[in-house]
Each structure stands twice: as structure tokens, then as C-alpha cells.
Amino acid sequence: MTALTIDRINKRYGNLHILKDISVSIAQGEFVSLLGPSGCGKTTTLRCIAGFERPDSGRILFGERDVTRALPEHRDIGMVFQSYALFPHMTVAENLSFGLEVRKVVPAERKRRITEVLSMVRLQGYEARFPRELSGGQQQRVALARALVIEPSVLLLDEPLANLDATLRDEMRFFIRDLQQRVGITSIYVTHDQSEAIVMSDKIVVMNSGVISQFGTPRDIYERPASQTVAGFIGRSNTIVGKVSEALGPDSYKIETLCGTIGTHGPGGLVNGTDVRVMIRPENIRTRRHGEAANTSTSDENVLGGSVVSATYQGNGTQLKVRLASGDEMVVDVSGRNPMAVGEEVALRFAPRDAWLLAS
Ligand SMILES: Nc1ncnc2c1ncn2[C@@H]1O[C@H](COP(=O)(O)OP(=O)(O)O)[C@@H](O)[C@H]1O
Ligand SMILES: [Mg+2]
């Protein structure tokens, strides 16, 4: 069932066209992240969903209900902000009670829900504390509880972890995701942090300059990015330019490059002669020293020769930069205690399934 439909919304501030035909459809219970660089329109999109902004055109539906013109208080949303936005002069219980009182929930039921939601965020017994008596992480959990206590149909979160230190942020990612799954609430999460989006989301909307670059699962986005922009924004990647020389199947191709022919997979329907880029993630490349036997190589494996131009120790491995015959530089992650040295000749090996085509 579709919980939320964003249908071709546009938003302008003066001459600036901020959101350009944004369309997304979100299923009941899904956790969807809006991911993109600062200023790309994530918060504006979320504010349109919440009702704090009205799009110039397009529609927003909660289930079947068109809420495009509804006030925020009539949309059945819970919202969590980066700044927590707790009422400083109210206790935790009063902060949680506020939205329930506005909704005319009777006292006994208010008490029951507050107790329940505080136990969900593991803050039982904190009812009488004031926000200033809580750590940043605890305040963020109160903000989460306050959004959930009204039992909204959609939970909206705008960079809720950005003010927390790295360790706490990591913990809170799992905490929020776990809580969201237990409650089963449809959630939209704004972040500019790609690893946060990847570990938390069912689906990711990658945004750039007010348009959606790609909408898909974390795996789709990481392994089958729709463009160079997406590939560059999510994780590290190497690209080699080339032309389609042969279609081997519905999604597998041979690509002619300056380093020779490379077996790849890619979107269907590419015709011979199409300009493309072959993308290979650093962790999917294996290395072999010059002259070392190719004992584990398979017949369709790609092998490119090059020489090491830098080797950077990274604790959990070494990052090599390897210059190919074409002049392209490839970044390669290698583990083990005997990495290559600068100047060594090396063969880079990767499977066709790990080489993905991007439109050039
Ligand atoms: N009220 C406003 N008036 C004018 N410009 C705005 C307003 N709100 C946001 N913007 C502009 O819209 C663009 C997108 O902003 P925003 O949605 O906050 O981006 P993000 O959340 O992705 O960082 C930015 O260029 C921002 O400066
Ligand atoms: Mg923002």
C-alpha cells in the first residue's frame, strides 16, 4: 500500500527554482532517505510534506488523501529536527504531553502513552527531567519520543543526528532504525551522509540541484548508480571511458577502451558505439604482482596492467593508486601485510559483474 505520494512538485523562492518536478511514492512502513549535498532541496521537500511550505505546483497525498493544501496540524505527521527543538522550560513528560493535549487526548491515556513511548526510547524514569539535565543523545531520544507519542502516520526526520558526536551518531542510527521497524511507521529521513542513508534505509532518494538523480534501494544506488553524479556521491569509484563494442546479453557488454576490451554489465538497450564510462569500486579490484601466476583467475575476468604510483597505509588495509597504460589512475583497496610498493608493475583483476556502465 502506498502511504505517501509526492507527485511532480515544484517550488520556487523568487527566481530560484528549488524543487523541479519531484515525484516519489513511498510504501506503508518504508524508511526512505532523502540524500544529497547541502542546498539540493532536501529540507524544502520535507517541509512541503509536513505542510510548512506549499509547493507551487504538484500534489502530496497521504494514502488516498490529498493534503497539498492541508495545514501541518491536519496532516498526521511527527517531526524530528536536527536542533531537537524541545521546550526548554518543560519537563520531558510535559514536552511529550503537549501534542497529546492539543489533540484532546484524555489524561489517563496521555499517561499511558508517555510511559510507553519513553520505554521505547529507553528513557523510563526521566519524566521529571528538564532538557538541560539531559545529554545530547538523550535529548534527541526525547525529540523522537515526542514525534512518536502522537502516533502519527508518517515520521519526518531532518538530519536528526548531525549535532551528535561520531560514536553516538553510529549508535543512534541503529537505535532509530530498530525503533522504526518495531513501530512499523513510514519514515522519511533527510541526510547528507551517504553511509547513514545506506545503513538505515529501505530506499534512498538521491537529490541534486532540486531534481531526483535516482530512487532505489541502497544496493541499487551503490552497485547500479544511474549516473556519474550518483556514483561519485555514493562511495568511491574508478571510471574508465569507452564505447560499447558488443552486447553479450540483456545487461552485459564488451567495452572498447584505451586499456583494451573490458567485460561489463550495465543498463539494458545500449547499442554498439555508445559512449560510456566503466565504473569499478576500489574494493572489487584484486591485484597480482607482475609475474605472479594467475591461479585463481577465471576466463571472463578482466585484467588490466599498470604500475603503482602511491601506496597509503590505512590501518585496515592499504590504498593503492595504479596508473594504467591509458594514463587513467585507479584506486584499489588491498588487505594483507605485503602490499605493493611504488613503482611495481601490477595486474588489476575484476569480474564483469563488478564493472558497471554509466552514461558518459
Ligand atoms: N525560505 C527560503 N527563501 C529563499 N531560499 C530558500 C529558502 N529556503 C531554502 N532556500 C534555498 O533553497 C535551496 C534548498 O534548500 P534546502 O531545501 O534547505 O536544502 P538542503 O536541505 O538540501 O540542504 C537552498 O539554495 C536554499 O538557500
Ligand atoms: Mg536541510
344: which strand partners?
Answer: none
Average pLDDT over residues 77-81: 94
Express each pLDDT in 221-237 by its tens digit.
Answer: 999 999 999 998 898 99
Name the residue at shortest CA distance from atom 9 of ligand 1: 44
pLDDT(292) > 80? no
With cut-offs at 50, 70 and 90, classify the pLDDT of residue 298: low
Position 316 scores a pLDDT of: 85
The residue assigned the cell 591485484 is: 287
Work out the average pLDDT over 310-338. 90
Of the ranges 42-56, 68-82, 311-325, the best mean pLDDT one: 42-56
Ligand 1 binding pocket includes 41 (Cβ within 6 Å): yes
pLDDT in tens, 172-217: 999 999 999 999 999 999 999 999 999 999 999 999 999 999 999 9
pLDDT of residue 294: 60
CA-to-CA distance for 232 and 247, rounded, in angstroms? 26
Measured from the CA of 158, which atom of ligand 1 is nearest?
Answer: 21
- The confidence score (pLDDT) of residue 163 equals 86
42 lines ligand 1 (CB under 6 A): yes
What's the average model confidence in pLDDT over 283-298?
Answer: 76
Query: Which DSSP helix (H) or strand (E) runs through 178?
Result: helix 166-183
Beta bridge partners of 242: 257, 276
Q: Where are the beta strands (DSSP E) in the chain?
A: 2-13, 16-27, 31-35, 57-62, 65-66, 77-81, 154-158, 186-191, 203-208, 211-216, 238-247, 252-257, 260-265, 275-280, 286-289, 302-313, 318-324, 329-334, 345-350, 355-359
State whether the beta carbon of 15 lies less than 6 angstroms from ligand 1.
Answer: no
Task: Kindly provide the b/e burial profile for residues 12-32, where b requires at least 16 CB atoms within 10 angstroms of the residue's own CB.
Answer: eeeeebbbeebebebeeebbb
Whether the per-residue pLDDT at 297 is higher than 70: the answer is no
Question: What proportion of the chain, given as a percentage, has pLDDT over 90?
Answer: 85
Q: Note whether 220 and 237 are within 8 A (CB).
A: no
- The alpha carbon of 85 and the centre of ligand 1 are apart by a number of angstroms equal to 20
Cβ neighbours of residue 316 under 8 Å, at least 6 residues apart? 335
352 lines ligand 1 (CB under 6 A): no
Highest mean pLDDT pick, 6-20, 161-175, 292-306: 6-20
Taking the CA of 44 as reference, the closest ligand is 1
**What is the pLDDT at residue 159?**
95
Closest ligand to 19 CA? Answer: 1
**Nearest atom in ligand 1 to 41's CA:** 17
Nearest CA to ligand 1 atom 17: 41
Domains of the chain by range and CATH? 2-231 (3.40.50.300), 237-359 (2.40.50.140)
Residue minimizing CA distance to atom 12 of ligand 1? 18
Task: Tell me the pLDDT tens digit for each residue of 258-279.
Answer: 999 999 999 999 999 999 999 9
Give, using CA atoms, the residue closest to atom 13 of ligand 1. Answer: 39
Q: Tell me which of 82-86, 145-149, 177-181 is least confident.
A: 82-86
* Average pLDDT value for residue range 308-334: 93
Rounded-to-integer distance, Cα 62 and Cα 58, Å: 14
Would you say the CB of residue 39 lies under 6 angstroms from ligand 1? yes
Task: Give mean pLDDT, residues 146-171.
Answer: 92
Residue nearest to atom 20 of ligand 1 (CA): 39
| Summary mean pLDDT of the chain | 93
Closest ligand 1 atom, residue 38 Cα? 23
Which pLDDT value is given to residue 293?
Answer: 63
Please report which confidence band the pLDDT of residue 308 belongs to, taking 50, 70 and 90 as the band edges.
very high
pLDDT computed for residue 296 by the predictor: 58
Residues contacting residue 98 through CB under 8 Å, at least 6 positions apart: 87, 90, 146
Radius of gyration for the chain, computed over Cα atoms and rounded to the nearest angstrom:
25
What was the pLDDT predicted at 299? 74
* Pocket lining: 18 vs ligand 1, CB cutoff 6 Å: yes
Q: What average pLDDT does this structure show over 340-353?
A: 94
18 confidence band (pLDDT: 50, 70, 90): very high
- Number of continuous H segments (helices) and E segments (strands) in the chain: 8, 20
Decide: 22 in ligand 1 pocket, CB within 6 A: no
Give the helix/strand (H/E) hosting 221: helix 218-223
Among protein residues, the one with the nearest Cα to ligand 1's atom 8 is 44
- Measure CA of the first residue to CA of the last residue in the chain; give whole Å: 37
